[in-house]
Structure 1
């Protein structure tokens, strides 16, 4: 069987581009080179290019997502999407690749756009009975009524950019004085923000993916942050423990895994997703879903895949083969 040409897309235009480059690097070194020709493709604000092993950059032709090496033009058979944030997690690139008829490993453009917008995603899922924290929405330029916000969500609360990842711009607010600075910080990342009640309980992260028409749930991970919450330092600078499988009861494990699977199906997802929950009094409250979750060695999904008995080579191979499945 001829080897498929796989472009591993990494980088992006958001604050998360460095983390994405780490994810992309792990995918490149893990993919089975007996089955795939693997090409690290950097999509950055300064340009799109294939980075060859010797360090030379080959520009991407945006008309077909191809590139030319030594006189040969290569158009990928599929894209392994490892871009966190815009434009790889919010639907832009998914729509572009779909127009070019190039399969890619993450979910479709509409599902990506919907889930990247925390406010819209929560609004949809609440209609299906998914439990979420109380929330308050603000757009840049809106009048800020501190008393009204606190009356609705209470204290402590979280102030988050509506469309950002890796906890950039997120603050935990304990008193009224902290609210305005937290709102200003969140507006640096996005012109829409969401303010939510701080739920008290165990934070759990659950990976879900599709294989052979079956929606499969990975082992749950418990997140114990040394910081006030699971912020950037906790995620990437070792300030947290991520315990897989989570130290929760069998009943709680079944509940949170069933809810993660239900949300994946409700949103008509594809590829691998990672859903975040707080278990409060044994009940899972949904926080958000990531459609291009981190795949670096420190990331949660690779740990869950290994706990499920898969090597990263096997797991990433499944994601590529699923990209070719027409739904």
Structure 2
């Protein structure tokens, strides 16, 4: 009997529309001969399944089921493509786990930890993972710009601690810009992380469960036309994403091993992507994304293609991993 798969898309943040694009691609490529696939839209206002005739059918949050044409659909697995909350920060994972429904992203604690940049970096530092110097600010804190600059220097990056797609991030070059940049980040989250500038090649490494093994995909080099890899660079074509990266085989091997190590330390699963900057010849960890973009143009699908893995296989394996690990 075919399994019923809900492709979760949407969410509660600025990444809503990006998530919809990822979800639609997953819906398109999951093998319909193997699964009954449904598009499940998740927003602050409503949860519903949309059928191919554009009819909305409200999801019952008590058991995550839906009634379509007098038939009750109970989902065997959720394919999680929600960027940001509640799909990337552990909330939807915890909810589904209480209902006994497996989902494709990392589990709730692992998702919450990796989504929190400050906590994630702090944990990984204990394992010898290099990263930028940082300074933390919370909403309501008094801001001493001199203290911040003493710790991280200039230029530096000011980021919303729990946000994706480069929302709430600024590059600060002068002390006079610091408070405005922090205020910008606080629009996305009530926690801010300020990081020292790392000069070097930026790369992205996808790590997935493939053929039953933790596998790093070919490395992607990020070359942006802007000051940094911001929203416009990511989604409006103002960057080059070069796969495989123009780095030595030795450096590629080094950063892939680092990405796999992080995957194991954080006990992740499914489809993930970690970002690094080669600074002074060593990969420095930036962040880990446990619900990465999954459109055909997104980085992880590009890497999978370079590894000879098509989208149908990529998504099918994610479902199989979720079903087998629950």
TM-score tier after normalising by the smaller chain length: over 0.9
Once the two structures are superposed, the pairs formed by residues 146-295 of structure 1 within 5 Å of their partners are 146-295=145-294
> Residues 69-111 of structure 1, C-alpha deviation per residue, up to 9 Å, x if partnerless?
0100001110000000000000000000000111100000000
The match for 2:100 is: 101
The match for 2:59 is: 60
| Residue 21, structure 1, aligned to residue 20, structure 2 | yes
The match for 1:70 is: 69
**Shift, 1:212, TM fit:** 4.4
Say if 1:155 and 1:174, in contact at 8 Å, map to a contact too.
yes
SS at match of 2:325: coil
CA distance in 2, matches of 1:246, 1:54: 42
**Shift, 1:325, TM fit:** 1.4
> Residues 27-66 of structure 1, C-alpha deviation per residue, up to 9 Å, x if partnerless?
0111111101110000011200000111110000011111
CA distance in 1, matches of 2:325, 2:40: 24
Cα root mean square deviation, aligned: 0.8
CA distance in 1, matches of 2:325, 2:38: 24
Please give the TM-score of this superposition, normalised by the length of structure 1: 0.99
Say if 1:8 and 1:80, in contact at 8 Å, map to a contact too.
yes
**Unmatched 5+ stretches in structure 1:** none
The match for 2:109 is: 110
How many residue pairs are counted as aligned between the two chains?
A: 326
**Unmatched 5+ stretches in structure 2:** none
**Shift, 1:247, TM fit:** 0.5
CA distance in 1, matches of 2:74, 2:42: 16
**Shift, 1:214, TM fit:** 1.4
SS at match of 1:257: helix
Say if 1:236 and 1:298, in contact at 8 Å, map to a contact too.
no
CA distance in 1, matches of 2:54, 2:188: 32
The match for 1:132 is: 131
Please give the TM-score of this superposition, normalised by the length of structure 2: 0.99
The match for 2:298 is: 299
Say if 1:278 and 1:287, in contact at 8 Å, map to a contact too.
yes
SS at match of 1:49: strand
CA distance in 2, matches of 1:220, 1:309: 14
